[in-house]
Amino acid sequence: MKNKESVKVRVFRCTPENGEDTGHYEEYNIPYEAGMTVLTALDYIYEHIDRSLSFYYSCRIGKCLGCFVDVDGKPVLACTTLLKDGMTIGPHKKHKLIKDVVVDFREN
């Protein structure tokens, strides 16, 4: 894919405090740059499109294992997964949802 072409992604949105319990997917257009990851896409949405999007990350280099999301149904680390056109990004299913793609990883 070339720089500056745009890609479409679908991201799971769910705001439990508004009484929404099943959630829905929203589609976003993101200008593409070489080497973009799922995490840089989420960051782009937060910074440029909608600041109510919630996601968790820390190290952004594949070490903390905090950025797990499901992409097209499979669990991956958002920070080290290359972004592709048409991806569907949802919360990691094994854990309880907090909001959007943030799940509850707490064990304590």
Partner 1 sequence: MTDTYKNVLETDVLVIGSEGAGARAAIEVAKNNMKVLVATKGVFTKCGATLTADMDIDVPSKAAKEVFGMDGGNPEDDELNMMRDMFMEGKYMNNEEVVWTHCSNAAKYVKELVDWGMRLDGLIQSPGHRFPRGLISTGRSMMTALKREVKRHKIDFAENTMITNLLTKDGKAVGAVGIDISTGDFLVFKAKAVVLATGGAMRIYPRTTAPEELTGEGMIMAFKAGAELVDMEFPLFLPACLVWPKSMLGVDLSYISSTVLGGWWLNKYGERFISKWDPKRMEHGTTRDIASVAQMIEILEGRGGPHGGIFVSYKHLPDELLDWSAKWNPWWANYMYGGFKLSDYNMDPREVSYEAAPAAHYWNGGIRVNKSGETNVPGLYAAGEVQGGTMGANRLSGNAVTEAVVFGAVAGGSAAKYVKDMKQPDIDKEQVKYYYENLHAPLNRNNGANVVEVRRKIQEMAMKYAGPVREEEGLKILLENIEKIKKNDIPNLSCSAKGKIYNREWFQCLEADAMIKTLEVVARASLMREESRGAMYRSDFPYTDNENWLKNIIATYKDDKVALETRDIKTSRVDLPEKQKIPYMVPEWEWAQKGGLSTKEDE
Residues of the shown chain interacting with partner 1 in the complex, contacts defined by CB under 8 A: 15-18, 33-37, 39-40, 46-47, 50-66, 77, 79-80, 82, 98-100, 102, 104-108
Residue 17 CB, shortest distance to ligand FES, in Å, is: 25
Look at the alpha carbons of 52, 54, 58, 60 in this order and tell me if their dihedral is positive or negative.
negative
* Residues binding ligand FES (CB under 6 A): 57-60, 62-67, 77, 79
Residue 79 CB, shortest distance to ligand FES, in Å, is: 3
Residue 25 neighbours by CB distance under 10 Å: 13
Q: How far apart are CA 16 and CA 20, in angstroms?
A: 5
Residue 81 CB, shortest distance to ligand FES, in Å, is: 9
Q: How far apart are CA 12 and CA 99, in angstroms?
A: 9
